Amino acid sequence: MINLSLYNERPIQRLMMKHLSIWKLTRLQKFPSWIEDAVDTLETLLIYEFLNLMILPECLTTMTRLKRLLIFDCPQLSSLPSDMHRFTTLEYLVIEGCPENVNLSQVSTDP
Cα separation, 87 vs 9, in Å, equals 26
Q: Is residue 50 part of a domain?
A: yes
Secondary structure E strands in the chain = 19-25, 44-50, 68-72, 92-96
Dump pLDDT digits (tens) for 9-61. Answer: 554 555 678 898 888 877 778 787 778 878 889 999 999 998 888 888 888 88
Q: Is residue 14 part of a domain?
A: no
Domain assignment of residue 84, given as a range: 19-27+38-96
Q: Is residue 57 part of a domain?
A: yes
Cα separation, 25 vs 52, in Å, equals 8
Single pTM value for the model: 0.76
Q: Is residue 101 part of a domain?
A: no
Q: What are phi and psi of 50, to 5 degrees?
A: -90, 80
Q: Is residue 81 part of a domain?
A: yes
Dump pLDDT digits (tens) for 56-109. Answer: 888 888 888 999 999 999 999 888 887 877 778 889 999 999 887 664 544 544
A 10 A CB-CB count for 74 gives 23
- Domain count along the chain: 1
